[in-house]
């Protein structure tokens, strides 16, 4: 099954719902190792995304993601704004004018998004950042693609791997962003950016029709 603009809009809509539902959880995670604004910032950013979607309905999945990128970069205010903004923008560029996205295009867009986050944040796997959710997600997506899976299966695998990746940040010592100021005291807390990334990828799989909460 290929995915069109309805999927992209549904993805962003579900993302906004999840950011609102998990707002307090993200704030609590960020309070432990950051400046406790991640939940609020993401909620505000995705509200802006929804508002823009209402004003100018996009015609392609790429256009929807580009719109999201601009809204997030302007409204989030913290580091997550440029990071997610770059991710969505690179994904949009990778998709181009495609009306329907197949598994290969989707895996390519996920890779572009991850590479954008790495380039903008200059973080590597193991730095206790959102890269620790995105990199396993991209690897899992590529494996499913190689095995002949469809776009929905690619998203399901990416979402599951991102959730596992977020959990693996628990014992890590942060080497990027404000959490890095804490040094060893950052160990024992889950990275809020990795958690929000896993939620966004879960929203992508759910929007594609993959049953919520059973991404394993």
Partner 1 sequence: MTVGLVVVSHSRKIAEGAVELAAQMAPDVKFYAVGGTADGRIGTDLEKTIAAFESGLTEASGDGLVVLADLGSAVMTAESATEFCTEPDKVLLADAPLVEGLVAAAVATQGGALAAAVKAAAESVRFGPETAFDAAGSPPSQGKGEPAESGEFELINPMGMHARPAAKIAGGLAGLDVEATVNGVDGTSVMELMSLAVGQGGKLKVEARGKDSSKAVDYVRRLVEQGFGEI
Q: Which residues bind partner 1 (CB under 8 A)?
A: 41, 70, 73-79, 81-83, 85-86, 120-121, 177-178
Return the closest-CA partner of residue 84 out of 180, 3, 199, 5: 199
Lookup result for tokens 């990199």: 135
Return the closest-CA partner of residue 160 out of 209, 193, 206: 206
Residues sharing a CB contact under 8 Å with residue 137, sequence separation 6 or more, in sequence order: 110, 114, 158, 159, 161, 162, 165, 197, 201
Least distance to partner 1, CB of residue 177, Å:
6
Least distance to partner 1, CB of residue 127, Å:
13
Least distance to partner 1, CB of residue 178, Å:
8
- Indicate the SS3 state at residue 20: helix
Lookup result for tokens 């992508």: 204
Q: Residue 134 has which token pair?
A: 């995105």
Q: Which is nearer to partner 1, 78 or 165 (CB)?
A: 78
Least distance to partner 1, CB of residue 118, Å:
12
Least distance to partner 1, CB of residue 16, Å:
19
Q: Which is nearer to partner 1, 62 or 81 (CB)?
A: 81
Q: Which is nearer to partner 1, 37 or 132 (CB)?
A: 37
Q: Which is nearer to partner 1, 12 or 87 (CB)?
A: 87
Q: Which is nearer to partner 1, 77 or 171 (CB)?
A: 77
| CA 80 – CA 90 distance, rounded (Å) | 15
């Amino acid at each position: 099954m290929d995915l069109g603009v309805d999927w992209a809009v549904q993805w962003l809509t579900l993302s906004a719902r999840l950011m609102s539902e998990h707002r307090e959880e993200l704030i609590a995670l960020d309070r432990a190792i950051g400046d406790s604004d991640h939940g609020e910032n993401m909620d505000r950013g995705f509200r802006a995304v929804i508002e823009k979607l209402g004003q100018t309905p996009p015609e392609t999945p790429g256009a929807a993601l580009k719109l999201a990128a601009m809204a997030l970069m302007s409204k989030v205010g913290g580091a997550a704004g440029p990071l997610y903004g770059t991710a969505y923008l690179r994904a949009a560029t990778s998709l181009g004018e495609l009306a329907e996205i197949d598994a290969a295009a989707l895996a390519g867009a996920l890779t572009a998004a991850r590479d954008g986050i790495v380039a903008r944040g200059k973080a590597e796997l193991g730095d206790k950042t959102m890269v620790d959710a995105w990199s396993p997600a991209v690897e899992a997506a590529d494996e499913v693609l190689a095995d002949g899976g469809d776009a929905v299966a690619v998203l399901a695998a990416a979402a599951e791997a991102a959730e596992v990746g977020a959990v693996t940040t628990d014992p890590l010592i942060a080497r990027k962003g404000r959490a890095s100021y804490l040094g060893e005291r950052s160990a024992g807390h889950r990275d809020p950016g990795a958690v929000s990334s896993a939620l966004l990828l879960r929203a992508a799989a759910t929007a594609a029709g993959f049953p919520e909460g059973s991404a394993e």
